Amino acid sequence: MRKTLNFLMMMAMVAISFAQNKGIDSKRPNIVFIMSDDHAYQAISAYGHKLNNTPNIDRIAKNGAIFSNSFVTNSICAPSRAAMLTGKHSFVNGKVDNVQEFNWSQETFPKLLQQNGYQTALIGKIHLDGLPQGFDYSAVLPGQGHYYNPDFIINGEKQQLAGYVTEITTELTLEWLANRDQDKPFCVLYHQKAPHREWLPAKKYYSEYTKMKFKEPVSLFDDYSNRGTAAKKAEMNILHHMNWAGDSKIYPEVMEQLGITETSNWGIKALKNNLGRMDAAQRASWDSIYGPINEHFKTIYPTMSPEELMHWRYQRYMQDYLGSIASVDEGVGQVLDFLKENGLDENTIVVYTSDQGFYLGEHGWFDKRFMYEESLRTPLLISYPKEIKPGTDIDGMVQNIDYAPTLLEYAGVKIPKKMQGESFRKLLNNEKTEWRDAIYYTYYEYPSIHMVKRHYGVRTDRYKLIHFYYDIDEWELYDLESDPNELRNVYNDPGYAKIRDMMHRRVKEMRKKYGDSDKNDQRFLKEYLEKINK
């Protein structure tokens, strides 16, 4: 009898503690971390650029907060992802460029959440080789992935899925959310490949977007004067460096008829590869829209001036880039609706960001990499109805190394001392807090595609100092107040001598604070050259 009583009491205690845990867990916020690839803030309507409409992404800002000064630490895909996962600068987590391997055995925020009772999933593009660690479920694209009928690696097993990548990524996410263990809080990384190059929209959007015309940026015809060598030498000009077939979707036979030679040796292959993955119906639908574009181009190209060609190529670029974003926005809407319909919206943190910013014709460019504004900045919108007031605008300078500590703090998990980012929860709550007044940046992938030279620098709310090194040794200084488009390097302007000295002190201080040095730069350079010359 006594034994039975003891047993019953024990069972009751287990039940109470289980219920308490469940109670605690139901209070811990869920996390939906949405990231797209190469999504410029200029292409989110909540940022007010009036280029396109993203009503669903905008809902996050409406329900929560939008950051006007959100920056990356290293404006390129895989390094950005590594910085976000680890909360550390590239030179500390080791993933400095797209070539270097990522060490998955490091401490990351999903791992810490998992160890602390969260259910975790990674769905979509991650661009970090090796089986992702820290996730109960992963469905990732190998490398860059494909737009049509993409391969996915689902819990380590590769399989091809039929359909359009953005929609599939959303479906997999909704499916995982619907089938999750409801007794645990969750964290899902919902990472779209779109709108990464070569910008192939879904059928339902390309017919609409290819008819649209978009506003051009003021510096579309930048001649790169009044700056150093780096901007002049970069190979990311829409007119000169975009692929005709791969990017502008001009068919190889049309190029041949017009006597156009492809910009790079992979441009034609890229288009063939992308269209080659389509089934007959997808291809016929594509041709029904892009065929007439090609036909029309045949008639106008022979008499076009370089300037007219630039206007044309810019529009072609924006149609496909923004058309790809339309599906991303639609997916965000579906996930937000799911949260609401399932009563999860109050207690779920929703983050929307990109792995970096992107040039939408500013300086005549596409791509990213530079520490200039359009690629240094990245969109950041966060909602969490339990804590963040709707319509919050935040102008504090945050960086993607801050995401990990912020999310850990919300989840009640101790932030590791070694993380270099800082939780910006107080900023989100409008609490008075000491906050950084400058950010530090590094970029390494050179020599490589787009030829953006190695550099590092510091940005304050008003000034930016950049050092380009390796095969040059040049400094650039910008006054973002008088020159927001960064068209005039004032480094050698005597009027800025004091600012220049102050910014040199700041960059030195930053390198010391985060543990960066010339020695690091030399080491990563050596490793890179060894890898690419193998």
Classified as helix, coil or strand, 442 is: strand
Residue 59 or 197: the one with the smaller Cβ distance to ligand SGN is: 197
Select the residue interacting with ligand SGN from 98, 133, 149, 285 (CB under 6 A).
Answer: 98
- Count interface residues toward ligand SGN (CB under 6 A): 15
Amino acid at 24: I
- Cβ atoms of 85 and 416 within 8 Å: the answer is no
Lookup result for tokens 């409801």: 182
Q: What is the 3-state secondary structure (H, E, C) of 98-115?
A: CCCCCCCCCCCHHHHHHH
Instruction: Determine the interface stretch with ligand SGN among 65-73, 130-138, 160-168, 193-201 (rule: CB under 6 A).
Output: 193-201
Instruction: Determine the interface stretch with ligand SGN among 12-20, 157-165, 195-203, 399-407 (rule: CB under 6 A).
Output: 195-203
DSSP state of 217: P
Q: Is 362 in the site for ligand SGN (CB under 6 A)?
A: no
Instruction: Determine the interface stretch with ligand SGN among 19-27, 46-54, 55-63, 194-202 (rule: CB under 6 A).
Output: 194-202
Binding partner of residue 454 among Ca ion, ligand SGN, none, CB cut-off 5 to 8 Å per kind: none
Residues with Cβ within 8 Å of 157's Cβ and at least 6 positions away in sequence, in order, are none
Q: Is 269 in the site for ligand SGN (CB under 6 A)?
A: no
Residue 72 or 339: the one with the smaller Cβ distance to ligand SGN is: 72
Q: Is 38 in the site for ligand SGN (CB under 6 A)?
A: yes
Residue 247 or 476: the one with the smaller Cβ distance to ligand SGN is: 247
The CB-nearest residue to Ca ion is 77
Q: Is 374 in the site for ligand SGN (CB under 6 A)?
A: no
CA dist., res. 108 & res. 102, Å (int): 12
| H or E, element range at 381 | strand 380-383
Residue 53 or 144: the one with the smaller Cβ distance to ligand SGN is: 144
How is the beta sheet containing 392-394 ordered, strand by strand?
Answer: 157-160, 151-154, 137-140, 119-124, 186-191, 30-36, 348-354, 380-383, 65-67, 392-394
Residues 64-83 that bind ligand SGN (CB under 6 A): 76-77
| H or E, element range at 77 | helix 77-86
Burial class (CB in 10 A: 0-12, 13-18, 19+), 167: middle
156's tokens: 């380590």
CA dist., res. 290 & res. 207, Å (int): 9
Q: Is 153 in the site for ligand SGN (CB under 6 A)?
A: no
Residue 268 or 499: the one with the smaller Cβ distance to ligand SGN is: 268
Binding partner of residue 249 among ligand SGN, Ca ion, none, CB cut-off 5 to 8 Å per kind: none
Select the residue interacting with ligand SGN from 111, 196, 464, 500 (CB under 6 A).
Answer: 196
Residues 292-321 that bind ligand SGN (CB under 6 A): none
Strands 398-399 and 70-71, by their bridges, are parallel
Residue 196 or 464: the one with the smaller Cβ distance to ligand SGN is: 196
Nearest to 402 by CA among 82, 33, 87: 87
Binding partner of residue 198 among Ca ion, ligand SGN, none, CB cut-off 5 to 8 Å per kind: ligand SGN
317's tokens: 């670029």
Binding partner of residue 127 among ligand SGN, Ca ion, none, CB cut-off 5 to 8 Å per kind: ligand SGN
- Cβ atoms of 67 and 381 within 8 Å: the answer is yes
Residue 37 or 422: the one with the smaller Cβ distance to ligand SGN is: 37
Binding partner of residue 503 among Ca ion, ligand SGN, none, CB cut-off 5 to 8 Å per kind: none
Binding partner of residue 486 among ligand SGN, Ca ion, none, CB cut-off 5 to 8 Å per kind: none
Residue 144 or 347: the one with the smaller Cβ distance to ligand SGN is: 144
Q: Is 197 in the site for ligand SGN (CB under 6 A)?
A: yes
Residue 355 or 486: the one with the smaller Cβ distance to Ca ion is: 355
CA dist., res. 351 & res. 357, Å (int): 16
Q: Spell 463-502 as b/e; 16+ CB within 10 A means b.
A: bbbbbbbbeeebbbbbbeeeeebbbebbbeeeebeebbee
How is the beta sheet containing 474-479 ordered, strand by strand?
Answer: 438-443, 455-460, 463-468, 474-479
Binding partner of residue 367 among Ca ion, ligand SGN, none, CB cut-off 5 to 8 Å per kind: ligand SGN
Query: Which residues contribute to the site for Ca ion (CB under 5 A)?
Result: 37-38, 77, 355
Smallest distance from the beta carbon of 99 to ligand SGN, in angstroms? 11
Burial class (CB in 10 A: 0-12, 13-18, 19+), 379: buried
Select the residue interacting with ligand SGN from 262, 320, 330, 367 (CB under 6 A).
Answer: 367
Residue 77 or 236: the one with the smaller Cβ distance to Ca ion is: 77
Q: Is 37 in the site for ligand SGN (CB under 6 A)?
A: yes
Nearest to 126 by CA among 162, 90, 96, 84: 84
Select the residue interacting with ligand SGN from 64, 134, 145, 246 (CB under 6 A).
Answer: 246
- Cβ atoms of 224 and 231 within 8 Å: the answer is yes
Residues in touch with ligand SGN (CB under 6 A): 37-38, 76-77, 98, 127, 144, 196-198, 246, 270, 367, 449-450
